[in-house]
Structure 1
Amino acid sequence: MSHSPESTSRRKALLALGALGVVYGDIGTSPLYALRESMTGPGGHGMVDINPANVLGILSLIIWALVSLIAVKYISVVMRADNDGEGGLLAMLALAVPQTTKLGSPVNRRSYVLVLLALLGTAFLFGDGIITPAISVLSAVEGLKVAASPAMESWIVPITVVILLGLFSIQYRGTGRVGIWFGPITLVWFLTIGVLGVRGILMYPGVLMAMNPWWALQFLIHHGLDSAVTLGGVCLCITGGEALYADMGHFGRNPIRLAWFAVVLPALLLNYLGQGALVLSNPSPETLVSPLYQLAPVWFKMPLVILGTLAAVIASQALISGAFSLAMQAVQMGYLPRLAIDHTSESEHGQIYVGQVNRAIMVGSIALVIGFQTSSNLAAAYGIAVCLTMLITTLVLCSIARRLWLWPVWKVVLVCGSFMLIELSFVLPNLLKITQGGWVPMLIGAALMLTMLTWKRGRAVLAGKFAAMSLPLSDLIESLNRGGVTRVQGTAVYLSLAGGSAPPAMLHNLKHNQVLHRTTIILTIQAARTPRVSDNERLEVSELGSGVWRVVARSGFMERPNVPEILAACGEHGLSCRADKVSFFLGRETILATHEHFPLWQSKYFALLSRSSQSAMEFFNLPPNRVIELGAQIEV
């Protein structure tokens, strides 16, 4: 069906408006604290002298960080690495690591390094999802000190905690009804900070000289190693850059680019320049308390605080929703245990709610607000996660550019090397802030990395043990053909990790009950390396003989497999059955921790993860009254 140019342009504009609320909320709230932290350092320690050379140099660093890393790296280069339209580190990993044809076959050393890097970046993104709500809402509410009275300072933390509690408590309802307002509200925010920026520039037009990168270079040369503190603050202006790529599947590459160049970049540049002009026209430490709010006239300060808080909540919502999607991807790709995933919209498949993730982010965010008290203190914890994730994305991008895009080595070195050099200049200063709060994202990242590696390796060990206990299907069919096994009426479905072997639950049933249903289906659900699977590749049905069928169902890492729907689709392949008329036999393993494959503590952790995993019955949407679970104890 063809669309007129007018309707196509209108759709693109609407998608760009939607992208403003979801993709750009995080980077759009950075003006609340980025320039302040660049000038004062974490917690107000390390403040640079307020003079034209320093202010213009810092502004130039901010401007060219936005241009080089966001406009050039993410918008122009990274977004080319789409996995069937989807972005994000896990989608990028599926592109960078070649598809293995044999289940469980070892990957080479390069691929293993890429897997570790992508998992580490994913772990930091989860950490980012915890820190962003805390620093965004806290920095917005801190505007009360400017808009109302300095006496409001004691109320800032309680108000922030109440807002966060409210935000997380409504997640289970989904964002369908209020989500339509995210784009318009964020558009108003960007237009507002852009206009305020123009107001500031008119106070000191000479601030426009900061567009010249020579000021940035001069600042770095003049301050030398002392500029590390400033660079640690400058990196805060590019927070949310990873969201541009991660949310590409929701809006598409072109609407995200349109929103960036038409609205976001101009508004950010104008506002940062306006804040700099305000500092130069009124060079005092008091100006740096909250330069964004001080750009506003007195009558507009309180409305600006309210608008800023709304923008911060929207930015937080985008990160929370992104964490839900990331968790689902990790589950589907086998890096996390099965989680309870609820769809909050009948029409929008991507709108999901993951209760365990929501509770973890809520507890973490509120703990950070209470523990750090101010956004300035929290800024030290924020930058390192952002910069390390960006650096990891560049490293994985090198592999994609060389292997998929067939770039020559010199081009990979020139392009990716340039990005890496800039990112390292942000990463190294942030490492100096580990004792000031940078340990928080490092600890979160390490814990999540340990969880993902433990689960992946533990499941591989289990698969090996199941394979050793199982019987090749060819031997089973041969045994059934010889007779000797009592067959009963009905249809049974057995879930199997590997389609070529009889699943342990089937062998347990034969051993203890000594019967087999006349129609027996061995169902294997495979996670594809793409976000979605086409209909003609989704299902593979084959009859093995003696009433035994093998069904291989494939789903993408952005899809959740639904067994009743899979069985209904089997009718088109000659296998007619209904989920409410069959018996489902599931294995329920109890993990006994040993030090055979892991250190004992890690084996116990894997056992804990297994116990906390959602049951296969709930995850695959099986009718509870048709499920039979057969337990087994397995040493790991």
Structure 2
Amino acid sequence: ITPAMSVLSAVEGLGVAEPALESAVVPLTVAIVIALFAIQSHGTSRVGALFGPIMLVWFSTLGILGLLEVIRQPSVLVAFNPFYAISFFAEHGIAGFLVLGAVVLAVTGGEALYADMGHFGRRPIQVAWLAVVLPALLLNYLGQCALLLSDPTAVRSPFYLLAPDWALYPLIGLSTAAAVIASQAVISGVFSLTRQAVQLGLCPRLDIRHTSNEEEGQIYIPRANWGLLAAVLGLVLVFQSSSRLAAAYGIAVTGDMIITTSLFLVVARRRWNWSLPLCFAIGASFLTVEISFFAANAVKIPHGGWVPLVIACVTLGLMSTWRRGRAVLTRRLAEESLPLDAFIQRQAKKGDIHRVKGTAVFMTSSSNTVPIALLHNLKHNQVLHERIVFVTVVVDDVPRVPAKDRVLVEGLADGFYRITVRYGFSQEPNIPKALRLCKAFGLEFDVMATSFFLGRETLIPQMNSQMALWRERLFVVMSRTSVSATDFFKLPPNRVVELGTQVQL
């Protein structure tokens, strides 16, 4: 919602500068949004170098415009007296409470501080917020209030009318640049979250491309990019103004605040071992405010607030279907497979299977069962390689796993090895690179002389399964759109052998 909301609100300044240009707001917004998403594949490192100075100019401009109006109308400073807020609620009752649904839009963007803190650390965010952003926002909002006190007709666009006539078009340009930067932050966040969802098993494998040789976190995901573009354009074309989109934005932001506080309390209780009374006290103080904001916005659900709720439900449905489907598929494959230890013991006793030279790597999601691909290879070719390696990739519930903890090598018996490769949810698997780390365990690989065996499952939905039929069919469609394991694990394509099997869910 942020790209649609921010770019629309910035471009709407054209209608303030020249009413005849109001009809150009939506087409121009569409063009800016398309251009923004079109450049994502080229990376944002060069553009990012300009973000800091532009945002410093932006917040300085906000503060100066507001300060000039406050100087003209200093009585507005009584807004700091909480008595006026209390008397407002006392006088207006439920109507005053519902005003919170609009007031919360003044603090939207604050929730992104959590994401920024993850990128830059706590100290830079504290300094930027307390020294620049908060003072600039307070001055600008006070300035808008002062303007309305002296000229109530400015309510049509108090922000742009703060500026003198000569500065209106430059302010529109600066607002658009700030909106693009805010949108870029959201788009980058979508890429990061999508990669984490893939790693955590909540999303099918996707094509993830690095756009920088220096920064590991700068990535581009084509499907996420174009899917988000379609959604943003849909919002712009349907709502066509920031005021109409405000209902959806309010529900999204206040819902995000409630979820963030709830997750914080889970971490504080389970990871930091805070006492229950302390968690309750902190949770009550935050949630009382946030739930009040959400409740005030709830009346807008029929007028656009339903959009983020629908998006949330669809996203949750897709992720839960994928997670559940993978669990059912793993169980079905395990039922058709054999225990790994028993298989190795049987081969050692029989000794009649011909062993051919070379190394065979079998990718498997279960480290304790025989991969279906190995059973098919043995059934059809009647041979085993002299060195057989089972590789299982595990994604830990941490952002990054250091290289020293990346691989664990276990020698099983008679040329059989088991390797567990660990990654964090912010890292991308690279099996050839991980295999090179096995040299420290006495196991060396020549990747271009190694055969990688993968299983390719053809999924068949069936009635009376462990999932509803519609979810089975959805899982099948999601599986078909998944990026191949060869590409996802960075395997050399000319060294990969895929063996198929049919699986009834």
The verdict on a shared fold, with TM-score over 0.5 as the criterion, is yes
For the 8 Å contact 2:333–2:503, the answer to whether it is kept is no
Q: Residues 235-250 of structure 1: matches in 2 within 5 Å?
A: 235-250=104-119
What percentage of aligned pairs have identical amino acids? Answer: 52
Aligned match of 1:121? none
1:567 touches 1:578 (CA, 8 Å); kept in 2? no
2:90 & 2:443 partners in 1: Cα distance?
73
Residue 593, structure 1, aligned to residue 458, structure 2? no
Task: Give unpaired runs (5+ residues) of structure 1.
Answer: 1-130
Which of 362, 380, 399 is the equivalent residue of 1:531? 399
Whether contact under 8 Å (1:617, 1:627) holds in the other structure is: yes
Tell me which of 181, 200, 207 is aligned to 1:340: 207
What's the CA shift for 1:606?
A: 0.5
> Are 1:545 and 2:423 an aligned pair?
no
How many angstroms does 1:248 deviate by? 2.5
> Deviations 1:460-510 (Å, cap 9, x if unpaired)?
111111222222221122122121222111111111112122212112211
1:142 counterpart (12, 18, 27): 12
Partner secondary structure for residue 180 of structure 1: helix
Counting only pairs closer than 5 Å after superposition, residues 492-511 of structure 1 correspond to structure 2 as 492-511=360-379
1:190 aligns with 2:56: no
Q: Distance in 1 between matches of 2:249 and 2:474?
A: 28
Query: In structure 1, the residue corresponding to 2:152 is in which secondary structure?
Result: coil
Aligned residues: 503
Rounded to whole Å, the distance in 2 between the matches of 1:143 and 1:415 is: 41
Counterpart of 2:486 in structure 1 is: 617
Q: For 2:360 and 2:81, locate their aligned partners in 1 and report how far apart those are by CA, in whole Å.
A: 71
Bigger drift between 383-392 and 219-228 goes to 219-228
TM-score of the two chains, using structure 2 as the length reference: 0.98
**Larger relative contact order (Cα-Cα within 8 Å, sequence gap ≥ 6):** 1
Letter in 1 for 2:214: S
Aligned residue for 2:433? 565
Aligned to 1:514: 382
Can you give the 5+ residue segments of structure 2 that lack an aligned partner in the other structure?
A: none
Distance in 1, matches of 2:126 and 2:459, equals: 49
Partner of 2:263: 396
Q: Aligned residue for 2:444?
A: 576
Structure 1 equivalent of residue 244 of structure 2: 377
The aligned amino acid for 1:582 is T
Letter in 1 for 2:227: A
Q: Does the alignment pair 1:417 with 2:287?
A: no
TM-score by length of 1: 0.78
Matching residue of 1:331? 198
CA shift, 1:228, in A, is 4.1
SS state at 1:471 partner: coil
Name 2:177's counterpart in structure 1: 310
Against the structure 1 CA distance between its residues 238 and 590, is the aligned structure 2 distance closer, same or farther, given a 3 Å change threshold?
A: farther
Partner residue of 1:73? Answer: none
Secondary structure of residue in 2 paired with 1:502: coil
Deviations 1:317-370 (A, max 9, x none): 000000000000111011111111101001000000011111111011111111
SS of the residue 2:99 aligns to: helix
Distance 1:278 1:236 in 2: 19
Distance of 1:469 and 1:250 partners within structure 2: 45
1: CA distance, partners of 2:425 / 2:203: 12
Deviation (angstroms), 1:240: 2.3
Task: Report the Cα distance in structure 1 between the residues aligned to 2:357 and 2:135, rounded to whole angstroms.
Answer: 70
> What is the letter of the counterpart of residue 133 of structure 1?
P
Equivalent position amino acid for 1:552 in 2: T
Structure (1 or 2) with the larger CA radius of gyration: 2
In the TM superposition, what whole-angstrom CA distance separates every residue of 1:258-292 from its partner, at most 9, and x where no partner exists?
111111111111111111111111122xx122211
Contact 1:544 1:550 in 2 (8 A): yes
Aligned partners of 2:86, 2:455: CA distance in 1, in Å?
Answer: 63
Letter in 1 for 2:218: Q
Q: Hey, what's the Cα distance between the residues in 1 that align with 2:347 and 2:387?
A: 12
Aligned to 2:186: 319
Cα distance change on mapping 1:512 and 1:240 into 2, 3 Å: farther
In 2, the alpha carbon distance for the partners of 1:356 and 1:314 equals: 21
CA contact (8 A) 1:528 1:556 kept: yes
What amino acid is the match of 1:571? K
Superposition RMSD on alpha carbons, in Å?
1.2
Kept in 2, the 8 Å contact 1:203–1:281? The answer is: no
Look up the match of 1:266.
Answer: 135
Matches within 5 A, 1:41-56: none
